[in-house]
Amino acid sequence: MDAPRAERTDLLPVPDGKSGCPINLTVELLGDRWSLVVLRDVMFGDHRHFRELLTHSLEGIASNILAARLAKLVDAGLLTRHDDPSHRQKIEYRLTEAAIQLVPVLVQLGTWGARWLPTSPELAIRAQLLGQGGPEMAERFMDELRAMHLAGRPARPDGVLAELTRAYQRAAGIA
Amino acid sequence: MDAPRAERTDLLPVPDGKSGCPINLTVELLGDRWSLVVLRDVMFGDHRHFRELLTHSLEGIASNILAARLAKLVDAGLLTRHDDPSHRQKIEYRLTEAAIQLVPVLVQLGTWGARWLPTSPELAIRAQLLGQGGPEMAERFMDELRAMHLAGRPARPDGVLAELTRAYQRAAGIA
DNA sequence: CACTTCTGATTGCAAGTAACAACCGGTGGT
DNA sequence: ACCACCGGTTGTTACTTGCAATCAGAAGTG
C-alpha cells in the first residue's frame, strides 16, 4: 500500500481526489442533476413541501432522489426542516442564508442558458428579466427570500417573485 | 400503453424528463462532477492539452472521464479542437465564445464556495479577487480569454490571468 | 367505526455512469 | 534501436440514477 506517485511538488495531485478550490468544492456539493433544480423550485416556485416539489416540478424528479437531495441539502446547511402546524407529518423546507446567496449563481446559470441553449421562451423570460435587472434586482429578490424563509413573512404582491411569476404566466398565455 | 396520468393542465410534467427551463438545461449540460472543473483548468490554468489537464489538475480526473468530458464539451460547442504544429498527435483545445461567457458563472460559483465552504486560503484568493473586481474585472478577463483562445494571441503579462496566478503563487508561498 | 386520501418517505431492481489501472498505436527526439 | 510522450481506449469494479411499487402514520369523510 505504498504511494509511488506524486513526483511533482509544485502542482499537487491531491491524494483523496478532493481539493480546497472554491469552484471544485461547490461543484462537488451542487454539481449533480438535481440539487440546483430543487433549489430553483424552492426559490422561484415557492415550493416548500415534499409533494409539491415532487409533482409540481417540470422535470419529474423521482421520489427517492428528491428525498436524498433534500437530506443532502439540509445536511449541507442550505435548507432547514420545520414542522407544519396544518399536519403533523408535514414538513416545511426553508432556505437558509447560504442558499439565498446562491441567487447570483442561479441568475448567471439562467442567463447563460437562455443565451446559449434552446430554452422555451416563456421559461426563459424569468431568467432574462432577472439578468437584465442586474445585481440590484438580485439583491431585492434575496431580501424578499430572507423575509419569506428566514423571517416567515408572506410573499409580497409587489415583489420580485410576483413580478417574475406574472411575466411567466403572461408569456405562457394563461388567461 | 395508455397514459392515465397528467390530470393537471397548469403545471405540466414534461414526458421525457426534459424542460426548456434555462437553469435546467444548463444543469443538464454542465451539472456533473467534472465539466466545470475542466473548463476552470482551461480558463485559469491555461491548460489546453490532454496530458496537461490530466496531470496538472488538482483533483486527479481519470483519463477516460477526461476524454469523455472533452468530447462532450466539444460537441456542445464550448471547446474546439486544433492541430498543434509542434507534434502531429498533439491536440489543442480552445475556449469558444460560449465557454468564455461562462466566466460570470464560475466567478459566482467561486465566490459562493469561498464564502460558505472550507476552501484552502491560497486557492480561494483567486475567487475573492475576481469577485471583488466586479463585472468590470470579469469583462477584462473575458476579453483576455478572447484574445488568447479566439484570436490566438499569447497571454499578456499585465493581464488579469497573470495577476490571479501571481496572487495564488504568493499565497501558496512559492519562492 | 370503516374508508379514502394525503403526508414524507423507503425498498427492490435494472440501467447507466464513475473510478481505477492497464494498455494501445502512432510520434518524435537521441 | 530505444524510450519518453501524444491523445486516448479497454476491462473491471463500485457506485449512482431512474422507475415503480410500497410503506406507516395522520387526517378527512361517511
**DSSP per-residue codes, B105-139:** HHHHHHHHHHHHS---HHHHHHHHHHHHHHHHHHH
pLDDT given at position B96: 98
For residues B146 and B151, give the distance between their C-alpha atoms in angstroms, rounded to a whole number: 6
For residues B134 and B107, give the distance between their C-alpha atoms in angstroms, rounded to a whole number: 9
Half-sphere exposure (CA, 13 Å, Cβ side) for A84? 11
Q: Which of A105, A37, A106 is nearest to A73 (CA)?
A: A37
pLDDT given at position A65: 96
The top-level CATH class assigned to A16-96 is: mainly alpha
- Among B28, B117, B174, the residue with its CB nearest the CB of A26 is B117
**Coil, strand, or helix at residue A82?**
strand
Best mutation site among A9, A21, A33 for testing chain B: the one with the most B CBs within 10 Å? A21
Compute φ and ψ for B92, nearest 5 degrees. Answer: -100, 130
Q: What is the pLDDT of residues A89-121, one digit of tens each?
A: 999 999 999 999 999 999 999 999 999 999 999
Contact flag, residue B59 CB and nucleic strand C, below 7 A: no
Q: Which residues of B touch A43 (CB under 8 A)?
A: none
Give the CA-to-C1' distance from A64 to D17 in angstroms. 10
Estimate the share of chain A in helix, then strand, then coil, as percent rounded to the nearest 5. Answer: 55, 10, 35
For residues B56 and B68, give the distance between their C-alpha atoms in angstroms, rounded to a whole number: 18
Please answer yes or no on whether B28 and A33 come within 8 Å at the CB atom: yes
Q: How confident is the model at residue B58 (pLDDT cuts 50, 70, 90)?
A: confident
DSSP B82: E
pLDDT given at position A77: 97
Please answer yes or no on whether B112 and A124 come within 8 Å at the CB atom: no
Is the Cβ–Cβ distance between B46 and B9 less than 8 Å?
Answer: no
Please answer yes or no on whether A58 and B19 come within 8 Å at the CB atom: yes
Sequence ranges of the domains in chain A:
16-96, 102-175
Q: How far is A1 from chain B (nearest CA, A)?
A: 19
Please answer yes or no on whether A26 and B105 come within 8 Å at the CB atom: no
Q: What is the pLDDT of residues B98-142, one digit of tens each?
A: 999 999 999 999 999 999 999 999 999 999 999 999 999 999 999
pLDDT given at position B18: 67
Please answer yes or no on whether A118 and B55 come within 8 Å at the CB atom: no
Mean pLDDT for the stretch of residues A136-147 = 98
For residues A52 and A31, give the distance between their C-alpha atoms in angstroms, rounded to a whole number: 23
Mean pLDDT for the stretch of residues A55-81 = 95
Q: Which of A137, A113, A47, A35 is nearest to A76 (CA)?
A: A35
pLDDT given at position B19: 82
Best mutation site among A27, A96, A123 for testing chain B: the one with the most B CBs within 10 Å? A27
Q: How far is A64 from chain B (nearest CA, A)?
A: 16
**What sign results for the dihedral spanned by CA atoms B22, B27, B29, B35?**
positive
Q: Which residues contact B84 (CB under 8 A, 6 or more apart)?
A: B49, B90, B91, B92
pLDDT given at position A14: 53
DSSP A17: S
Global pTM reads 0.90
Contact flag, residue A89 CB and nucleic strand D, below 7 A: yes
For residues A30 and B145, give the distance between their C-alpha atoms in angstroms, rounded to a whole number: 26
Best mutation site among A24, A54, A69, A174 for testing chain B: the one with the most B CBs within 10 Å? A24
Contact flag, residue A18 CB and nucleic strand C, below 7 A: no
Task: Output the CA–CA distances (angstroms, integers) from residue B7 to B1, B11, B12, B13, B120, in the order listed.
Answer: 17, 10, 9, 10, 51
DSSP B3: -
Contact flag, residue B120 CB and nucleic strand D, below 7 A: no
pLDDT given at position B10: 38
Q: Which residues contact B69 (CB under 8 A, 6 or more apart)?
A: B34, B35, B38, B61
For residues B6 and A73, give the distance between their C-alpha atoms in angstroms, rounded to a whole number: 29
Mean pLDDT for the stretch of residues A25-45 = 96
Indicate if the pLDDT at residue A8 is higher than 50. Answer: no
The residue with cell 446562491 is A102
